[in-house]
Amino acid sequence: MSSSDTMEKLVSLAKRRGYVFQSSEIYGGTGSVWDYGPLGIELKRNVKELWWSRMVHQRDDVEGLDAAILMHPRVWEASGHVEGFTDPLVECKACKKRFRQDTLADQACGRKPSVTPGEDAACELGEPRLFNLMFRTFMGPVEDAAHTIYLRPETAQGSYVNFLNVQTAARQKVPFGIAQIGKAFRNEITPGNFIFRTREFEQAEMQFFVEPGTDDEWFDRWLEERMAWHLSLGIREDRLRIHEHGPGELAHYAKKAVDIEYLFPFGWKELEGVHNRTDFDLRRHEEFSGKRLQYIDSGGGKRFLPYVVETAVGVDRTVLVLLTDAYREEEVEGEERVVLGLHPRVAPIKAAIFPLVKKDGLPEIAARLARELREAAIPSFYDESGSIGRRYRRQDEAGTPWCVTVDGQTAEDGTVTIRDRDSLEQVRIDASHLEGWIRERLR
C-alpha cells in the first residue's frame, strides 16, 4: 500500500469513526485546521492526562503552569521570534501559489502536481522573501502598530517569564521543571499531512532549570525518560528513532538538540524535541525586561542564571502517531477487518456492551452494565444495532479493546463473554467482576 493510500484510508476512518473532522467543512473547510470529534477528543485527552501524570503528578521536581496565549509583545522580541521566526517564501508567477524555498522537493506545483515547484516553465518562481510565521492581531479598539500583539507560536516563553514566580510559590530548588499543555499558532506556508503540521496546534512542553555544568547529564536523563514514555503508549519501537541535530541544524538558542522521530507513511518526521537551550531565554528576558531572573540558592548562597533542558512534544502529532501505528487491515475467517490496535490506556472507549438479541431482558442488563462502567469512570458504549459481527467490526475500527456480550446464559448465571480485539480470544466472567477485570488490564 502506498503512503498516500495509507493516509487517505486513515483520514477516511478518522472522519467515519468520529476522531477528526475538517474544520468548517460545510463551508468548504479551513486550510489545515481540524476539529476533534467524540472519539478524537477522548484520545487527545488521554494523551494529555498520561503526559501530565508522568511529568507532574508522579514527580516532585516539576510544577504545572497554564500561561496566557496573549503575552506582552516584548516577550517575542526577547525570544527572537519577531526578528527571526521566518521561513523563506517563493511565489510561482503562473499559478500564484506560494512555497517554502527550503522544502521545494517535498511540494507539488499548483498546475502540475507531478512537477516540483520551479522544475520547469509551468512553475516559474520569483525571488525569495522572508515570511514571519506568527499570527498578528491588535489589543484594544485601535488597529495600529502600537497595539500589535501576537498569538503565541510556542508555550515555552510563558515558563521563562514565570520562572521566579513558580520557583518562589512552589518553594522549589534548582533543578526543577515547569510543565504546561496549551495551544500555539503558526501561520505555516505549507502545512499538511493531515494533523501533522497545522496552523493551530497543541503542545506539551516542559522546561527543566538546572545549574550550569549539570546540563549535559540532565539532557541525557530527559531524553531517556521521554523515549520510555512514548513506548509506554504502545508505539512500536522499530518505528521510533533518535536524530541528533548537526551544527548546521541547531537553533540559535541550542547547545544540543535531539529529535525523537517516528516513521510516518510520508517518512521519518519529528515527534518530540529535546533541547539544551542554555541560559539563552532567561538571559534575553533579563535584558529586555530589566528584571533579574537569577536563582539564589538559599542553602549554599550561590547565585546563577540556570540552563534549561526542554522537552517539547506535539499533542496532535502524538495523536497522529497513535492512529498511524495502530491502523491495520487483516483477514479473519475469510473477511477483511480494519483495526485500530490502540493501547487500552489511550483507547477512547474501553469496552462496548452488546445484548446478543433484543429480547428476554438482555438489552436492559447490557444497558445497566454500560451505565455502571460509565459511573465508575470507565468509558463504555452500548450497541444493540445489527448483527454481532457488524458490531464487533465497528468497535474494531473505533479501537475499542474489549467487547462484552450479554446472552441467554447471563440471565441464568450472571456471566458475560468478553472478546479481545487483538487476539479475538473470548473469556467468560461474572458480570459483577467486569469493572475490576478491566481496571486490572488498564493498570
What is the DSSP code string of 14-68?
A: HHHTTSEEETTGGGT--TT-EEE-HHHHHHHHHHHHHHHIIIIIT-SSEEE----
pLDDT value at position 86?
65
The letter for the amino acid at 207 is Q
pLDDT value at position 110?
67
94-98, 195-199, 208-212, 303-307: the lowest-pLDDT one: 94-98
Whole-model pTM: value is 0.90
* Nearest to 344, CA basis, from 405, 430, 425, 422: 422
Residues 361-374 have pLDDT tens digits of: 999 999 999 999 99
At 8, the pLDDT band (50, 70, 90 cuts) reads very high
How many CA within 13 A on the CB side of residue 125? 19
Residues 28-82 have pLDDT tens digits of: 998 889 999 999 999 999 999 999 999 999 999 999 999 999 999 999 999 988 8
Q: What is the DSSP string of 280-309?
A: HHHHHHHHHH-----EE-TTT--EE--EEE
At 13, the pLDDT band (50, 70, 90 cuts) reads very high
Which distant-in-sequence residues (6+ apart) come within 8 Å of 346 by Cβ?
A: 43, 46, 47, 50, 233, 234, 322
With beta carbons less than 8 A apart as the criterion, state whether 284 and 80 touch. Answer: yes
Per-residue pLDDT for 126 more than 80? Answer: no
pLDDT value at position 93?
74
Per-residue pLDDT for 293 more than 90? Answer: yes
Instruction: Count other C-beta atoms under 10 Å from residue 428's C-beta.
Output: 13
Per-residue pLDDT for 280 more than 80? Answer: yes
DSSP 422: T
370: cell is: 454500560
Residues 214-263 have pLDDT tens digits of: 999 999 999 999 999 999 999 999 999 999 999 888 988 899 999 999 99
What span, in angstroms and rounded, lies between the C-alpha atoms of 5 and 2?
5
The stretch 164-183 carries a mean pLDDT of 97
Q: Is 111 left (phi over 0), alpha (psi -120 to 50) or beta?
A: alpha
pLDDT value at position 157?
97
What span, in angstroms and rounded, lies between the C-alpha atoms of 386 and 395?
13
* Nearest to 2, CA basis, from 266, 273, 361: 266
Average pLDDT, the chain: 92
Q: Is 156 helix (H, G, I), strand (E, B) or coil?
A: helix
pLDDT value at position 133?
84
Residues 301-344 have pLDDT tens digits of: 799 999 999 999 999 999 999 999 999 999 988 889 999 999 99
With beta carbons less than 8 A apart as the criterion, state whether 46 and 348 touch. Answer: yes
pLDDT value at position 114?
67
The stretch 98-108 carries a mean pLDDT of 68
Q: Is 323 helix (H, G, I), strand (E, B) or coil?
A: helix
The letter for the amino acid at 240 is L
What span, in angstroms and rounded, lies between the C-alpha atoms of 320 and 240?
14
pLDDT value at position 199?
93
* Nearest to 163, CA basis, from 154, 172, 153: 172
Instruction: Count other C-beta atoms under 10 Å from residue 172's C-beta.
Output: 18
What span, in angstroms and rounded, lies between the C-alpha atoms of 257 and 62?
21
Residues 396-430 have pLDDT tens digits of: 999 999 999 999 999 999 999 999 999 999 999 99
CA–chain centroid gap for 26, Å, is 26
**Best-predicted range by mean pLDDT among 122-131, 292-301, 347-356?**
347-356
At 101, the pLDDT band (50, 70, 90 cuts) reads low
pLDDT value at position 1?
59
Residues 378-402 have pLDDT tens digits of: 999 999 999 999 999 999 999 999 9
With beta carbons less than 8 A apart as the criterion, state whether 151 and 69 touch. Answer: yes
